Amino acid sequence: MSKKRVVITGLSAITPLGGDVAASWSNLLAMKSGVGPITLFDASKFSTRIAGEVKGFEPESYGISPKLAKRMDRFVQLAVAAGLAVIRDSGLEVTDANAHRIGCMLGVGLGGLSTIELFHSRLVEAGPSKVSPFMIPMLISNMAPGQIAIQASLKGTNVVLTSACSSGLHAIGHAYCEILLGRCDAMVTGGVESTITPMGVSGFTALKALSSRNEAPEKASRPFDRDRDGFVIGEGGGMFVVESLEHARARGASIHAEIIGFGAACDAYHMTAPDENGAGLAQAMRNALAEADLPPEAIDHINAHGTSTQLNDLCETRSIKSVFGRHAYKIAICANKSQTGHLLGGAGGMESVFSALSLETGIVPGTMNLENPAPECDLNYMADGPKKLDPQYVLCNSAGFGSTNVSMLYKKWEG
């Protein structure tokens, strides 16, 4: 039985670099940074006071009514804004006849921390009568795909996946599987996150995971650089509409790129640290290549997880060398987090949108702040900025706490 072909027909992004795909992509290629001082709360007493915030986000400008916005945590607002935008971009029409064949599957790492913090304070200060009946529906992670489905009348599969920082990419992989298995004809998928809150920042600070380069925020995220001192927390995300090729062609949809492989694997090693050789991520990449029936030498671009932490960057580099051997040195590798910070559960969604745009435009983005490569980090990380390289295939990588790893393989659309 021949495998269905799955294509990407819609793109959306709300990131620290811009409120839509065009602004985010333009600023990415211009090597601008979306990292700056935290404004979402008073961080003056924190050792880390910088983040990649989505600037000037107004839910109403994305079609969310003020009344509805008040009943959503910020991560849900961002999800609905991106979800409605990606449906518009795809030109997909949802009707009574096809709604049950269109689903939504998103990745969210943590859910509504800001809502938990708000109502915990009210509980402690004023008692249980001051806790809103909307608290639980505001904070649970599956409200991101749920609210998109409600607003857009999507009645197919509706699921949230939570796998820490690989949530968004896992969601895309499983949405791809829904299409392959014929369970849906089209899916809204990707990842979103908004945890720039006192709990979020203090929690990652306690893990010694965050950069404290507060005086130069734009220089703080330094994937693969010798002087990296941790990641920068970010918010936002990116989404696709994915469809079977038959469905896309039947409605005359424009196609951005094709999905040809999904690989997942586990280090089974540690709660927060990757295997020192990157064995799980290496296996995830091998699995994606095997599904696509491609040799390693076919890959010309990797959108790296590239978090700017000591362990991740070294282990990801080792994993790439393990899979690709000498060919690893010929691959153009970029780390979008150098400009956006780490969107946690939203990272894989955003980076997949940028991967699709690389295939569509032929431009591979650069990696900022890579001034002195760390020992063993000696691959081509595009430190000198974006280039027109016309990649045919791109692997997009994510990894997360709990030893989880995922790699998606995208192909240039050639009709």
Residues belonging to the active site: 165, 305, 342
CB-based contact 292:402 (threshold 8 Å): no
Q: What is the per-residue burial (b if ≥16 Cβ within 10 Å, else e) of 160-188?
A: bbbbbbbbbbbbbbbbbebbbeeebbbbb
Q: Which residues contact 49 (CB under 8 A, 6 or more apart)?
A: 37, 38, 43, 214
Tokens of 149: 């489905």
Considering only CA atoms, give the Rg of the chain: 20
Region at 278 (left for phi over 0; alpha for psi -120 to 50; beta for the rest): left
Tokens of 360: 């569509």
**CA separation for the pair 374, 315 (Å, rounded):** 12
Q: Distance of CA 172 to CAs 97, 312, 331, 408, Å?
A: 25, 22, 23, 8
